[in-house]
Structure 1
């Protein structure tokens, strides 16, 4: 006989964390396809400060830094966009200000 397909939707159980309720998703044992019992969860090992610094330095070596030229081009692009946005809002503010003052002076 063929197996009946099971749903693999996660179940959510509320976990109390301080004053805020945090929902922690958990997969149901039905969708696992293996035995119904789950393996015990072991806590992570603590890392020594020296090991932590070593790992941080290893990760920092993997960073791809931008060149001076790329940084300059990006800075100029941002400044141009700031000027364009400032000009746009200056014009819109002027139009809206003129419109409101014209509308408030109609009845006088």
Structure 2
């Protein structure tokens, strides 16, 4: 893994990183504002990005849906068991006081 050149500091987009000896001040030029995109060019870019999407197949969607259902079932059983156990323990502790 490559070591970061400036750990803990992130350079701003569009600006150049400048260093100076301690105690000196450096003036950094303001970056130029970004060029505006026309609506036609924007929608063209949106369509180009839309063509890059890889949709899951019917089989992948089915398998993922079944896995979600199984995880929900396991979580609901777990929380039901924990809730029942805590309810029993609470009733037991309250019964000790009466």
The TM tier, using the shorter chain, reads 0.7 to 0.9
Please give the TM-score of this superposition, normalised by the length of structure 2. Answer: 0.74
Structure 1 residue ranges without an equivalent (≥5)? 1-6, 13-23
Which has more helix, going by share of residues? 2
Q: Which has the higher contact order (CA 8 A, sep 6+)?
A: 1
Root mean square deviation, CA, Å: 3.0
Structure 2 residue ranges without an equivalent (≥5)? 21-25
How many residue pairs are counted as aligned between the two chains? Answer: 87
- Given the superposition, is the C-alpha separation of residues 30 and 104 from structure 1 closer, same or farther in structure 2, using an over 3 Å criterion? same
Please give the TM-score of this superposition, normalised by the length of structure 1. Answer: 0.67
The equivalent residue for 1:86 is: 76
Superposition misfits of 4+ residues, deviation over 6 angstroms:
24-27
